[in-house]
Amino acid sequence: MRHDGQVTDTESFPRQKARTRSFQLGRPRGLKVIGDRVLFIRSSSGIDPAGSLWQLDLSAQPPTEICLVDAAGMLSTGDLPAAERARRERMREVTSGITHFTTNKSGAVIAFAISGIAYVSVVGATAQTRELAAPGAVTDPRVSPGGERVAYVVNGSLWVIDAHDQDAQPQLICASTSDTETWGLADFIAAEELERLRGYWWLPDGTGLIVERADNAPVGIRWINDPAQPASEPVAHRYPAAGEANPIVELWLVRLDGARTHLTWDLTRFPYLATVNVTDKGSVVSLLSRDQRTVSINKVDLMAGALTEIAVRTDPEWIDVHGELPFLDTDGSLIEIAADPKSDTNRITRDGAFISPAGLQVNGVVDSSPGGLLVVASADPMEQHLYRITNDGETTALSSGESWNGAVADGATYALATANSISPRVEFTVVHSSGVHSIASHAQTPNVNIKPNFSIVGETQLRTCVFWPTGHVSGSRKLPVIMSPYGGPHAQVVTHIAGSHASDQWLADQGFAVVVVDGRGTPGRGPAWERLIKNDLAIGILADQVTALAALGAQLPDLDLTRVGIIGWSFGGYLAALAVLERPDVFHCAIAGAPVTEWRLYDTAYTERYLGDPNEAPDVYDHSSLLTRAEKLQRPLLLIHGLADDNVLAANTLQFSSALLAAGRIHSVLPLSGVTHMTPQEIVAENLLMAEVDFFRTHLQMAGPGSIGVLGPAP
């Protein structure tokens, strides 16, 4: 490894992937466009985890990148506050330093936190940065729209401080009165399942805030502990499991002068605070029923201090939540993404009328301006592009090619993050009136030669991708197969993003053919395709993997279908274990990482969206459970689970292991001490890849170097 963090020929891929946190370090992220400036976070190299704050000045000639805040000297060795650790876990954040920032409307005042310490940076000719006083470790500092103040959360209480007075002391706005009550933080369900990571919003005039109050007292406790550290006390984690109580979630209108108004609604009917969106045209709140078939869209009446319902939407299966939509556009119209059953398309609506074209699956709104909307959408499930949609519905693509594009924008200026299936690097460009400009990425390039081979197979047009060992000559030999799916809702893996398949290519280079399949329930193909999994997270999803494998086997004789393994994590882990239980004739061994083995153990919003209430439909849950299938195991199975996982609790693996043992079914369990649902620890991440290869070499009857000898023989 060179001093600049770039890879050398001697470093193994597992080591490189671990040190680069899956190649995220050194990459620009958190981009925000404000006029002639682009703000972003980037670390100094592909192995530096500490993000600093940067600016691309588009008004300079030539446009210049400037480091506004260097986080290297500001890091603390102290522990992050629990709320910040939880926020990062929900975001799957694996970096340090500056991980998030907010600005006022002009972008002149910026707030962020490093190691629980709040800072404000005032940008002029230079950036003047100083620490803000706080009564404890800070979470989620946010600047008021005018830049006068910064709010933040400490120990579940919301505070506000003057952004410019160096002697200012914070003012307590909303005080937490118990260890189950929080003000200004997104509740667990909102952050984990509804894509809402924030819990308070400044009013446009800066005179107050709309604040979430959450009380977790009704929620059952799950104790998270580390058996490897028996002297450490278990942590009480309030986890809303399927069929059980959710937290009490409220909204309050809180004025800086001390006035406070409860924005009430029927909590029994609408327990989920799905979205809050505040614009100059008004504040919109969407509330979701527990069965998620009804959403109530409300406008906040600031004068009356009340919610006024302006629309109700229903769906016979479930309502999809799309980030911070709905919102009020510049002309006051209501912008939503809604499922159009006639064209089987997720489309943009304006005041309930479809304006985006049928067949273009809209995934999100990037920006709105008087001239129309910028959206990211997919005409092909394997691609995502940026489109401009005018107020009269005229749609123009702003990106092209076999690529996947994310975007941020401010009016006519937009920044693109573009991935493709040829290169593993993500390119960052800014389109401005002065031209097209690049933002440098310091991320390392994976030291594998990624070559995805895409195809569409079967009557249902399943998207697939096959990876061969580098240098493999067709017809030279038959290769054992490893399927590597996610396979569940809200995640696609067969996309034109070469970098996301670096591990698949490395695994193939160990002497396997790796097959990736997106089956029913995965996004990108329309509402009907996603809803095929209602009341069945097992048989139909698994059938698509089997169908695709058989079709590929008929087309590609180098696939040895007598030696097939399967690996997956989270939902993919569930699918991998299910595969060897239900179809041992197809799958000969499996690795299941952090699997949900019993859906009653998973959270309310996700699980009940697809399977309903377990108290009302126990048979549906039994149908999708692995515990009821334990006696079916005939093939080698390795279960891997982080014991500190607060999302998919380790109880899933432990209960499944107990059921397997009770049924006399031999298997292997690899517990990861101190590891959450992510595995950012370098040594853990590196050695996991090696352990997985050793397992497949053993059980798919392959000889190979590097066997670590920790796994038992096939049962």
108/87 Cα distance (integer angstroms): 26
Q: How confident is the model at residue 701 (pLDDT cuts 50, 70, 90)?
A: confident
Residue with structure tokens 């006024």?
A: 308
Q: Is the pLDDT of residue 707 over 60?
A: no
Task: Write down the pLDDT at residue 715.
Answer: 29
Structural contact between residues 420 and 498, judged by C-beta atoms closer than 8 angstroms: yes
Helices (H), 460-531: 502-509, 527-530
Residue (of 606, 591, 601, 607) closest to 627 by Cα position: 601
Q: What is the mean pLDDT of the chain?
A: 93
Q: Is the pLDDT of residue 686 over 70?
A: yes
Q: How confident is the model at residue 75 (pLDDT cuts 50, 70, 90)?
A: confident
Give tens-digit pLDDT for 620-646: 999 999 999 999 999 999 999 999 999
Q: Is the pLDDT of residue 708 over 60?
A: no
47/27 Cα distance (integer angstroms): 10
Task: Write down the pLDDT at residue 713.
Answer: 29
Q: At what angle do helices 539-555 and 571-582 cross, to 10 degrees?
A: 80
Give tens-digit pLDDT for 315-347: 999 999 998 899 999 999 999 999 999 999 999
Location of each CATH 3.40.50.1820 domain in the chain: 453-699
Q: How confident is the model at residue 95 (pLDDT cuts 50, 70, 90)?
A: low
Sheet holding 372-378, edge to edge: 361-369, 372-378, 385-390, 395-397
595/670 Cα distance (integer angstroms): 13
Give tens-digit pLDDT for 558-609: 999 999 999 999 999 999 999 999 999 999 999 999 999 999 999 999 999 9
Sign of the torsion angle spanned by Cα atoms 625, 714, 482, 17:
positive
Residues shown for the chain: 715
Give tens-digit pLDDT for 583-592: 999 999 999 9
320/609 Cα distance (integer angstroms): 10
Spatial CB neighbours of 661, under 8 Å, sequence gap ≥ 6: none
CA 560 to chain CA centroid, nearest Å: 34
Give tens-digit pLDDT for 424-459: 999 999 999 999 999 999 999 999 999 999 999 999
**Are β-strands 248-255 and 260-263 bridged in parallel, bridged antiparallel, or unpaired?**
antiparallel
Spatial CB neighbours of 80, under 8 Å, sequence gap ≥ 6: 88, 115, 116, 137
Residue with structure tokens 């941020």?
A: 408
Q: What is the mean pLDDT of residues 207-220?
A: 98
Q: How confident is the model at residue 705 (pLDDT cuts 50, 70, 90)?
A: very low
Q: How confident is the model at residue 709 (pLDDT cuts 50, 70, 90)?
A: very low
Task: Write down the pLDDT at residue 392.
Answer: 85
CATH topology of domain 453-699: Rossmann fold (3.40.50)
Q: How confident is the model at residue 6 (pLDDT cuts 50, 70, 90)?
A: very low
